[in-house]
Amino acid sequence: MSALAGIRVIELAHERCAQVGKLLADMGADVIVVEPPEGAAMRRHGPFAGDEPDPERSLSWWHYNTSKRGMVLDWREGEGREALLALLQGADVLVEAEDPGVLACHGLDDAALTGALPRLIHVSVTPFGPDGPRSSDEATDLTLIASGGIAAVCGYDDHSLPPIRPMGGHGFLIGAHYAFMALLTALIERETSGLGQKIDVSLNAAANVTTELASYNWLVAEIPVMRQTGRHCGSVISMPTQYECTDGRYVNTGVPPRTGRQYETILKWFRDLGLDADFPETVFLEMGTQHPVLDLTKVGIDDEITAIYSAAREALAFASSRMTADQFFQSAQRAGLPVGIVYSPDEAFEDEHFRARGMQVTMNQPQLGRPVRYPGAPYAFEKTPWRLASVAPGLGEHTGDVLAEAGITAPGARKGD
């Protein structure tokens, strides 16, 4: 059995909430994504299969709409609106990301939704919430990353270079994750109360509380922070943690050793690799083994502590200059040091660990007549596994089925009419 089996979801197609529908559908909910007659805007987003810009070949659409059924319904029009309301009578959840006021102006205000349908959980994802001072602002993924505080802390030590928006639609994904958590919380509560409710999610608010120390350094102590290359922001410029290896790829050296045991680990790793003789600061690594816990409050004050602390970071940088990124990552981790390799997404996808974890899931892709590998489960459930039930729907693929199930013979005709 799937965790969300039997949960019927109506999703009004929008790039801001596509991930919410995917998370639901891949865990077993019956998600019906409702598109306008011209198709969802995301169908025109690349990349495209075979680089052919075609609404049935958008890989963004394919990714974000797995396991869903799809229908075409012009829900803003009178008859289409009636059909949507009829569908919602049999639904548990409505997920949408229309601009504030759009649903109400088409006769789908709160009274018509959660008011008339008391079991319905209505999740509304908007850039700035439904009614705040900036609720009518225009926003994209880029502008949300900027207003939400993420861009300010991503970038380079060189501040003549701009702050950076990490690619991947994270301005939408962050809000979608909170939206999904919220609707699951409401579903659990409904099991007891029998009642649904309206949930508002602000994408800007979501980004704002997803910046770790960039927010709480200010909240707690009004400490401003600045962006730094490939590592955490901070109030001062910190030592680098990202290094280029001999093959031109990068590694991340993580949090440096702090305990005597960790110094023993790094020293043993250096000796095993024969790097200890060449590394000029091996003596400080040896001294580090004598400290049960290095007193980091004395870094910069006590010369010996500072030298020991710096030596560990220097050691990792030194090692990265002597081997490939793969060698560094594998050998340091096997020695017990938490470090990372900066993989491109496809390199991660092909890595033996992710493959062994089932992170490649193959489905037959009708548009291509061949199997396609998709990214796998974000979580491994023992009893109610995540799965891909189907590829993303073609435009209007299930319109007839969905209307027939709801007893609607044609858009606009209510059941029993």
Partner 1 sequence: MSALKGIRVCDFTGQLAGAAATKWLAAFGAEVIRIEDPTNNGAWDLVRGTPPYVDERRGHDLGGGFNNHNTEKLGITLNLKTARGREILEQIIAKSDLVTENYAAGVLERLGFGYERLKEIRPDIIYVSNCGFGFSGPYRQFKTWGPIVQAVSGLTFMSGLPGREPAGWGFSYMDHTGGQYMAMAILMALFHRKRTGEGQWVDMACCDAALTLNGSALLDYSVNGRTSREAGLPAGNRSVWPAMAPHGIYRTAGEDQWIAIACRDDADWERLAGVIGEEWSGQVRWRTLARRVAAQDVLDALMDGWCAGFDKFALERRLQQAGLAAAAVSDARERIDEDNANDGFDLWPEVEHSAMGKVRVDGLPVRFSRTPQKIRRGGPCLGEHTEKVLGELLGIGAAEVAALRAEGVV
> Closest separation between CB of residue 199 and partner 1, Å?
6
Q: Is 300 in the site for partner 1 (CB under 8 A)?
A: no
Candidate residues 14, 31, 34, 60; the one interacting with partner 1 per rule CB under 8 A:
60
Produce one character per residue of 367-391: b if its CB has 16 or more CB atoms within 10 Å, e if not. beeeeeebebbeeeeeeebbebbeb
With respect to partner 1, which residue has the nearer C-beta, 213 or 413? Answer: 213
Q: Is 241 in the site for partner 1 (CB under 8 A)?
A: yes
Q: Which helix (H) or strand (E) holds 188?
A: helix 170-193
Q: Is 255 in the site for partner 1 (CB under 8 A)?
A: yes
Which residues, numbered 177-196, are part of the site for partner 1 (CB under 8 A)? 177-182, 184-189, 191, 193, 195
Which residues, numbered 28-57, are part of the site for partner 1 (CB under 8 A)? 44-47, 49-51
Q: Is 223 in the site for partner 1 (CB under 8 A)?
A: yes
User: CB of 149 within 8 A of CB of 215?
Assistant: yes
Span near partner 1 by CB under 8 A; candidates 79-87, 223-231, 276-284, 301-309: 223-231
Residue 75 DSSP label:
T
C-alpha span between 215 and 141 (Å, rounded): 20
Q: Is 333 in the site for partner 1 (CB under 8 A)?
A: yes
> Closest separation between CB of residue 323 and partner 1, Å?
16
Which residues, numbered 89-118, are part of the site for partner 1 (CB under 8 A)? 110, 114
Q: Is 168 in the site for partner 1 (CB under 8 A)?
A: yes
Q: Is 209 in the site for partner 1 (CB under 8 A)?
A: yes
Q: Is 227 in the site for partner 1 (CB under 8 A)?
A: yes
List, in sequence order, the alpha helices (H) in 321-376. 325-335, 345-350, 352-356
Candidate residues 254, 260, 394, 396; the one interacting with partner 1 per rule CB under 8 A:
254
Q: Is 216 in the site for partner 1 (CB under 8 A)?
A: yes
Candidate residues 79, 264, 281, 347; the one interacting with partner 1 per rule CB under 8 A:
347
Please write down the long-range contacts of 263-271, taking CB distance under 8 Å and 24 or more positions apart: 263/288, 263/289, 263/291, 263/308, 263/312, 264/289, 265/335, 265/336, 265/337, 266/312, 266/315, 266/316, 266/335, 266/337, 268/335, 269/319, 269/331, 269/332, 269/335, 269/336, 269/337, 270/315, 270/319
User: CB of 405 within 8 A of CB of 87?
Assistant: no
Q: Is 268 in the site for partner 1 (CB under 8 A)?
A: no
